[in-house]
Amino acid sequence: MTANLLDYDLEGLAAFCERLGEKRFRATQLFRWIHQKGASQFDEMSDLAKSLREKLKACAHIQAPSVLSQHISVDGTIKWLFDVGGGNAVETVFIPEDDRGTLCVSSQAGCAVGCRFCSTGHQGFSRNLTVAEIVGQLWFAEHFLRGHLRTADRVISNVVMMGMGEPLQNYSALLLSLRVMLDDHGYGLSRRRVTVSTSGVVPMMDRLGNDCPVALAVSLHAPNDALRDNLVPLNRKYPLAELLAACKRYLAHAPRDFITFEYCMLEGVNDSPDHALQIIGLIKSLADGAWCKFNLIPFNPFPASGLVRSPQRCVLAFAKILSDAGIVTTVRKTRGDDIDAACGQLAGDVQDRTAVHRRIQKQRVVMIKSVGAESGTDQEEPVNG
Ligand code: SAH
Ligand code: SF4
Q: Is the CB of 115 under 6 A from ligand 2?
A: yes
pLDDT computed for residue 332 by the predictor? 86
CA atoms within 13 A on the CB side of 310: 26
Atom in ligand 2 nearest the alpha carbon of residue 199: 7
Distance separating the N- and C-terminal Cα atoms of the chain: 58
In angstroms, what is the span from residue 355 Cα to ligand 2's centroid? 24
> pLDDT digit string (tens) for 299-336?
999 888 999 999 999 999 999 999 999 999 999 877 77
Would you state the pLDDT for residue 127?
A: 96
The mean pLDDT of the chain is 88
**Are 331 and 286 within 8 A, CB to CB?**
no
Question: What architecture (CATH level 2) is domain 66-375?
Answer: Alpha-Beta Barrel (3.20)
Please state, in angstroms and rounded to a whole number, the distance separating the CA atoms of residues 385 and 383: 6
Lowest-pLDDT range of 35-39, 76-80, 172-176, 350-354: 350-354
Q: Ligand 1: which atom is nearest the Cα of residue 298?
A: 24
Please tell me the distance from the alpha carbon of residue 82 to that of residue 143, in angstroms, as a whole number.
15
What is the predicted pLDDT for the residue at 19?
A: 95
Q: What is the model's pLDDT at position 341? A: 63
368, 80 Cβ separation under 8 angstroms: no
In this structure, which residue's CA is closest to atom 21 in ligand 1?
344
pTM score? 0.91
Handedness of CA 214, 219, 222, 227 (dihedral sign): negative
Q: Domain 3-61 carries which CATH code?
A: 1.10.150.530
Q: Are 89 and 129 in contact (CB under 8 A)?
A: no
Whether the predicted pLDDT of 52 surpasses 60 = yes
Residue 347 alpha carbon to ligand 2 centre in Å = 11
Decide: helix, strand or coil at residue 220: coil
Which of 178, 246, 175 has the alpha carbon at shortest distance from 206? 246
Q: Whose CA is nearest to atom 2 of ligand 2?
A: 166
What's the pLDDT tens digit per position in 85-114? 999 999 999 999 999 999 999 999 999 999
Cα(102) to centroid(ligand 1), Å? 16
Q: From atom 7 of ligand 1, which residue's Cα is the shortest distance away? A: 199
Any catalytic annotation for residue 91?
A: yes
Most confident among 43-52, 195-204, 247-256 (mean pLDDT)? 195-204
Q: Which of 90-94, 124-128, 340-344 has the lowest mean pLDDT?
A: 340-344
Give burial (CB, 10 Å; 0-12/13-18/19+) of 331: buried
Burial per residue of 345-384, b for 16 or more beta-carbon CB atoms within 10 angstroms, e otherwise: bbbbbbeeeeebeebbeeeeeeeeebeeeebbbbbbeebe
Range 265-292 average pLDDT: 90
- Which residues' Cβ are closer than 6 Å to ligand 1? 117-118, 162, 166, 197-199, 219, 262, 264, 297, 299-300, 343-344
65 lines ligand 2 (CB under 6 A): no
CA dist list (Å): 293 to 76, 185, 209, 253, 331: 27, 32, 18, 18, 11
Lowest mean pLDDT across 21-35, 293-307, 361-375:
361-375
| Residue 333 pLDDT | 79
Q: Is 163 in the pocket of ligand 2 (CB under 6 A)?
A: no
Catalytic residue among 17, 22, 91, 262: 91
Q: What is the pLDDT of residue 340?
A: 67
66-375 has the same fold as 3-61: no
Q: Would you call 343 a catalytic residue per the annotation?
A: yes
The pick from 264, 265, 310, 332 for probing ligand 1's pocket by mutation, whose C-beta has the most ligand atoms within 8 angstroms, reads 264
Asked if 123 and 110 count as a contact pair (C-beta separation under 8 A), the reply is yes
Question: Any idea where the domains of the chain sit in the sequence?
Answer: 3-61, 66-375
pLDDT band at 365 (very low <50, low <70, confident <90, very high): very low
> Strand order in 194-198's β-sheet?
366-369, 66-72, 78-83, 89-96, 101-104, 158-161, 194-198, 215-219, 259-265, 292-298, 328-333, 379-382
